[in-house]
Amino acid sequence: MHSLSRRSISSLLRFGGTRYRNFAAPVSSSDILNQIVGQRNDEARWYSAFTADHYSPTTISNSSNSWRDPFMGIRHKSTASAPNSSFISSERYDHHAEEKIDPFSLVADELSILANRLRSMVVAEVPKLASAAEYFFKIGAEGKRFRPTVLLLMATAIDAPISRPLPDTAVDALSMDLRTRQQCIAEITEMIHVASLLHDDVLDDADTRRGVGSLNFVMGNKLAVLAGDFLLSRACVALASLKNTEVVSLLARVVEHLVTGETMQMTTASDQRCSMEYYMQKTYYKTASLISNSCKAIALLAGQSTEVAMLAYDYGKNLGLAFQLIDDVLDFTGTSASLGKGSLSDIRHGVVTAPILFAMEEFPELRAVVDRGFDNPSNVDIALEYLEKSRGIQRTKELAEKHANLASAAIDSLPETDDENVLRSRRALVDLAERVITRTK
Amino acid sequence: MHSLSRRSISSLLRFGGTRYRNFAAPVSSSDILNQIVGQRNDEARWYSAFTADHYSPTTISNSSNSWRDPFMGIRHKSTASAPNSSFISSERYDHHAEEKIDPFSLVADELSILANRLRSMVVAEVPKLASAAEYFFKIGAEGKRFRPTVLLLMATAIDAPISRPLPDTAVDALSMDLRTRQQCIAEITEMIHVASLLHDDVLDDADTRRGVGSLNFVMGNKLAVLAGDFLLSRACVALASLKNTEVVSLLARVVEHLVTGETMQMTTASDQRCSMEYYMQKTYYKTASLISNSCKAIALLAGQSTEVAMLAYDYGKNLGLAFQLIDDVLDFTGTSASLGKGSLSDIRHGVVTAPILFAMEEFPELRAVVDRGFDNPSNVDIALEYLEKSRGIQRTKELAEKHANLASAAIDSLPETDDENVLRSRRALVDLAERVITRTK
């Protein structure tokens, strides 16, 4: 989950967050519901194909003229026009408009408890290992707790009356109260995230192309690998202490997804690099799986219904996808909102993202440029020219908006409640989804 | 657990296995028992110090004149004489002498089922990841299943009447019978082992000093890391399916131990590199923890008593330590049993092992040589000269014998039974312990 990086999360935190209002036309709430249900059914089929381990990337159709967004249940046509970005209206935010919620301040106290506990959890016997593992948990780095914020808000947001008895495992673990166990999920999620950052940054060789300051550069590839393994094993020990094997299994699958996503990104096959479907699947694995499945774990620990757990999952998944799509835009535009002012880090490393893929639908000749690779900087310039005259950036933003709206819609579909605490957390989650797509850095 | 490598395990398998009879003097069986009980009590204190995470390597006393073997409960004096290698006599093997057991053929059929299942468990969605993960599980590599052999034999060896009701978790998982669940532990152990091999071989830089043919060389550091992570996540998913959180926790700790051991081996501090106690702790973490804790997991799944689980653990721990000590000898002697004919791989990479540490007790001036490091080949030659005139090799062998004997004694302490299957597996485990110390390559 490289793209939700330290830098970009701090940027997110610094961002003030004006409301995003760029939705074209209102639709009815039943349309919204149908959209979500349709999306979820479709997604369930798609997702089960993955979890059953029968999925093979070779089955991905790479018709460059249309692609199916597995997360939306929509087959996009190869028209140069934008997909209809209006199916969820700005109306749905209006009933929240009365109160401005700062998602981060709502859980600030709890986050600092959590940060302290995280630091104590990564204390290692061997000093070298300890300093490597603590690299991302140092005091002064607390501001970046994006995932824990989401998870703590989610824990409160679903805290409605529980419709069925607590699972046995919850009874087994009475010694630890529910909130503490949910906090533990947030800690585990952060450890898995940092472990994946450490391992993603391991280099194939001594070349430091991925940037100075990464742990592998400072302390060597090997120690970065060992520190990542150490965090994974600590996460696994903490998971086991929750005594819920469904949750263990869920988060173990996430580690597998992170690895699968990273490996998919390393592909050199043109059919895969140029497929929007492949890109979306890779993005789910690399960015959305961790936050969606840990949201689900929060609900499972609470003994919530399958429906609530699935809504929590949907929120996390769509938030993660929206975040990554905007990240891919910002890599081109940077803070200036104009092309070529971003770091261009992805394309320079040969990673083809949504803006280029959308541009390629309008200008099929761009594919030949992509196939030549981007080792030659002039090829980057040619690709940017195509991107500039295409609607690639705009369509990527619109897709991000759709996923942000789906995230918010999942929150709105949670069981009704009058509890002001619960409602406040739900508004904060909706606010977070808006911030993700409106940030400009 | 690098030293139980593919090469050395095949060598072990090829080795015929004449009985080792080089024990100096018989002692009574009550002496043996006291020795084991004493050792276990001492070891329990030592081990709990680790698991409580309060252990700090800085507390290791590095009196070069004596050291405490935490696995034996013995403080070795700095005399040049060998520690008494006779406290467990050759008599204890005599009652087994009537039947020659080939440990590997006893479980050969089951091993091939297991090998097939392992191959199916590491199938990945992404071809690149699959081929990396399968690297160590290919057909033709089945001969190396040292750990699965030990674990399957252990499963039968402890299959005596169970004195207490099955734990709840065993009832939860009735859909999978006990033997299948124990086989699953063997598969998980193999996956963790291979993952650690992949990660241990990651290089700090493009230098291929660790040898051609390692996965990181063939496919790049990064893919080796991802393939290792993939195996760890598959192992974790398989662990979760056993629905026994004590076992999840136990094997998660093992991953932490493997990492800790590898990091300890990377130390450059003279006090640590020259400490026998530090070396033994590192060896436990790197080599003995995986086999000992998975032996314990086999017993826990069967609902065996704490005592039986501890004996299974003791067998695995002492077998692992004996194996590594002999491995360290062979690194110097090779097949020729004469000094300097081994690969000298450890010392050339600056890894100081038991033979040198024992030699240093006799010739304290060797420490200055070690402190200069072994980048200069002439320093290796000087160290070998000291080793040659010392009893370092002999004392390392004797220490390995002691641990092999403790392993066998743990088997002999298992509850009495008349079941011929059980007895045959016990004899095979004792035979394995002998093979470990008598191999010459």
String of DSSP letters for A78-114 = S-SSPP-TTSS-THHHHTTTT----HHHHTHHHHHHH
With cut-offs at 50, 70 and 90, classify the pLDDT of residue B99: low
Please determine, for residue A250, whether its predicted confidence score (pLDDT) is greater than 90. yes
Most confident of A190-194, B33-37, B137-141, B288-292: B288-292
Among the partner residues B125, B221, B264, nearest to A126 by beta-carbon distance: B264
Cβ count near A365 (within 10 Å)? 9
Among the partner residues B126, B221, B241, nearest to A57 by beta-carbon distance: B126
Please determine, for residue A222, whether its predicted confidence score (pLDDT) is greater than 80. yes
Q: Between residues A16 and A237, which one has the greater pLDDT?
A: A237
C-alpha–C-alpha distance, residues A329 and A368, integer Å: 22
Q: In terms of Cα–Cα distance, which of A89, A95, A141 is closest to A114?
A: A141
Report the pLDDT value the prediction gives residue B178, as an integer from 0 to 100: 92
Q: A77 to chain B, minimum CA–CA distance in Å?
A: 27
C-alpha–C-alpha distance, residues A273 and A352, integer Å: 6
Please determine, for residue A337, whether its predicted confidence score (pLDDT) is greater than 50. yes
Q: Which amino acid is at B48?
A: S
If residue A69 lies in a helix (H) or strand (E), which one and from where to where?
A: strand A67-69
Among the partner residues B204, B226, B233, nearest to A220 by beta-carbon distance: B204
With cut-offs at 50, 70 and 90, classify the pLDDT of residue A407: very high
Burial A117-141 (b: 16+ CB within 10 A, else e): bbbebbebbbebbbbbbbbbbeeee
Burial B165-203 (b: 16+ CB within 10 A, else e): eeeebbeebeeeebeebbbbbbbbbbbbbbbbbbbbbbb
Please tell me if residue B285 touches chain A, with a CB cutoff of 8 Å: no
Q: Which amino acid is at A89?
A: S
Report the pLDDT value the prediction gives residue A305, as an integer from 0 to 100: 94
Report the pLDDT value the prediction gives residue B181, as an integer from 0 to 100: 94
Q: Which positions in chain B touch A58 (Cβ < 8 Å)?
A: 127
**Residue B248 and residue A236: Cβ atoms within 8 Å?**
yes
Most A CBs within 10 Å: which of B53, B234, B256, B268, as the mutation test of the A interface?
A: B256
Determine the structural domain holding residue A208 and report its residue range.
6-52+63-74+84-96+103-438
* DSSP classification of residue A286: I
Among the partner residues B125, B234, B255, nearest to A56 by beta-carbon distance: B125
Q: A341 to chain B, minimum CA–CA distance in Å?
A: 30
C-alpha–C-alpha distance, residues A287 and A265, integer Å: 12
Among the partner residues B50, B226, B248, nearest to A248 by beta-carbon distance: B248
What mean pLDDT comes out for the span A64-84? 55
Chain B's closest residue to A129, CA to CA, is: B263
Distances (CA, A) of A274 to A50, A64, A258: 21, 8, 21
CB-based burial of residue A370 (10 Å sphere; 0-12 exposed, 13-18 middle, 19+ buried)?
A: buried
Cβ atoms of A9 and A144 within 8 Å: the answer is yes
With cut-offs at 50, 70 and 90, classify the pLDDT of residue B198: confident
Please determine, for residue B17, whether its predicted confidence score (pLDDT) is greater than 90. no
Please tell me if residue A245 touches chain B, with a CB cutoff of 8 Å: yes
Among the partner residues A233, A240, A256, nearest to B245 by beta-carbon distance: A240
If residue B184 lies in a helix (H) or strand (E), which one and from where to where?
A: helix B178-200
Q: Which positions in chain B touch A129 (Cβ < 8 Å)?
A: 259-260, 263
Cβ atoms of A320 and A287 within 8 Å: the answer is yes
Computed over every residue of chain B, the mean pLDDT equals 76
Cβ atoms of A317 and A288 within 8 Å: the answer is yes
Please determine, for residue A128, whether its predicted confidence score (pLDDT) is greater than 60. yes
> How much of chain A exceeds pLDDT 90, in percent?
47
Please tell me if residue B203 touches chain A, with a CB cutoff of 8 Å: yes
C-alpha–C-alpha distance, residues A55 and A34, integer Å: 27
What SS3 class is residue A380?
Answer: helix
Among the partner residues B123, B202, B237, nearest to A221 by beta-carbon distance: B202
> How much of chain B exceeds pLDDT 90, in percent?
47
Report the pLDDT value the prediction gives residue B172, as an integer from 0 to 100: 46
Cβ atoms of B371 and B405 within 8 Å: the answer is no
- For chain B, the distance separating the N- and C-terminal CA atoms, rounded to the nearest angstrom, is 17
What mean pLDDT comes out for the span A287-297? 98
What SS3 class is residue A74?
Answer: strand
Q: Which positions in chain B touch A220 (Cβ < 8 Å)?
A: 204-205
Please tell me if residue B206 touches chain A, with a CB cutoff of 8 Å: yes
Q: In terms of Cα–Cα distance, which of A214, A192, A226, A215 is closest to A121?
A: A192
Cβ atoms of B279 and B399 within 8 Å: the answer is no
Please determine, for residue B192, whether its predicted confidence score (pLDDT) is greater than 50. yes
Among the partner residues B228, B236, B256, nearest to A234 by beta-carbon distance: B256
What SS3 class is residue B75?
Answer: strand
Please determine, for residue A276, whether its predicted confidence score (pLDDT) is greater than 50. yes
> How much of chain B exceeds pLDDT 70, in percent?
66
What mean pLDDT comes out for the span B384-407? 97
> Would A1 be classed as within a structural domain?
no
Q: In terms of Cα–Cα distance, which of A339, A350, A345 is closest to A396?
A: A339
**Interface subset of A 47-66, CB within 8 angstroms of B:** 50, 53, 55-58
Report the pLDDT value the prediction gives residue A364, as an integer from 0 to 100: 97
Please determine, for residue A154, whether its predicted confidence score (pLDDT) is greater than 90. yes
Chain B's closest residue to A257, CA to CA, is: B230
> Would A31 be classed as within a structural domain?
yes
Cβ atoms of B390 and B428 within 8 Å: the answer is no
Report the pLDDT value the prediction gives residue A355, as an integer from 0 to 100: 97
> Would B319 be classed as within a structural domain?
yes
Please tell me if residue A236 touches chain B, with a CB cutoff of 8 Å: yes
Pairing of strands B74-76, A67-69: unpaired
* DSSP classification of residue B26: -
**Interface subset of B 308-327, CB within 8 angstroms of A:** none
Q: Which positions in chain A touch B127 (Cβ < 8 Å)?
A: 57-58
Please determine, for residue B253, whether its predicted confidence score (pLDDT) is greater than 80. yes
Q: Between residues B43 and B124, which one has the greater pLDDT?
A: B124
Most confident of A124-128, B53-57, B384-388: B384-388
> Would A282 be classed as within a structural domain?
yes
Torsion of CA B349, B350, B356, B357, to 10 degrees: -140
C-alpha–C-alpha distance, residues B56 and B149, integer Å: 35
Report the pLDDT value the prediction gives residue A123, as an integer from 0 to 100: 78
> Would B1 be classed as within a structural domain?
no
With cut-offs at 50, 70 and 90, classify the pLDDT of residue A36: very low
Provide the phi-psi class of B253: left if phi over 0, else alpha when psi is between -120 and 50, else beta.
Answer: alpha
Phi, psi dihedrals of residue B69, rounded to the nearest 5°:
-85, 105
> Would A79 be classed as within a structural domain?
no
Q: Between residues B67 and A90, which one has the greater pLDDT?
A: B67
Q: Which residues 6+ apart lie within 8 Å of B433 measured at CB? A: B315, B318, B319, B322, B404, B405, B407, B408
pTM of the model: 0.76
What mean pLDDT comes out for the span A422-435? 96
Residue A72 has which token pair? 């939306």
Cβ atoms of B224 and B199 within 8 Å: the answer is yes
Most B CBs within 10 Å: which of A2, A119, A184, A226, as the mutation test of the B interface?
A: A226
Please tell me if residue A121 touches chain B, with a CB cutoff of 8 Å: no
> Would A58 be classed as within a structural domain?
no
Among the partner residues A230, A240, A262, nearest to B226 by beta-carbon distance: A262
What mean pLDDT comes out for the span A230-250? 92
**Residue B125 and residue A57: Cβ atoms within 8 Å?**
yes
Please tell me if residue A212 touches chain B, with a CB cutoff of 8 Å: no
What mean pLDDT comes out for the span B312-340? 88
Q: Give the number of domains in chain B.
A: 1
pLDDT digits (tens, 9 = 90+) for B134-181: 766 665 544 468 899 999 999 999 986 554 455 555 444 445 699 999
With cut-offs at 50, 70 and 90, classify the pLDDT of residue B427: very high
Please tell me if residue B267 touches chain A, with a CB cutoff of 8 Å: yes
Report the pLDDT value the prediction gives residue B316, as an integer from 0 to 100: 98
Flag whether the ipTM exceeds 0.85: no
Chain A's closest residue to B227, CA to CA, is: A259
Q: Which residues 6+ apart lie within 8 Å of B2 measured at CB? A: B196, B197, B200, B201, B262, B286
Cβ atoms of A294 and A147 within 8 Å: the answer is yes
Tally the residues of chain A: 441
Q: Between residues A294 and B23, which one has the greater pLDDT?
A: A294
Report the pLDDT value the prediction gives residue A126, as an integer from 0 to 100: 78
Cβ atoms of B223 and B215 within 8 Å: the answer is yes
What mean pLDDT comes out for the span B365-376? 94
What mean pLDDT comes out for the span A82-93? 39
Torsion of CA B98, B102, B108, B111, to 10 degrees: 110
Cβ atoms of A258 and B246 within 8 Å: the answer is no
Phi, psi dihedrals of residue B165, rounded to the nearest 5°:
-65, 155
Report the pLDDT value the prediction gives residue B12, as an integer from 0 to 100: 28
Q: B55 to chain A, minimum CA–CA distance in Å?
A: 6
C-alpha–C-alpha distance, residues B133 and B125, integer Å: 11
C-alpha–C-alpha distance, residues A236 and B212, integer Å: 33
Output the domain CATH number for residue A344. Answer: 1.10.600.10
Q: In terms of Cα–Cα distance, which of A327, A359, A358, A357 is closest to A345?
A: A327
Please tell me if residue A222 touches chain B, with a CB cutoff of 8 Å: yes
Cβ atoms of B319 and B433 within 8 Å: the answer is yes
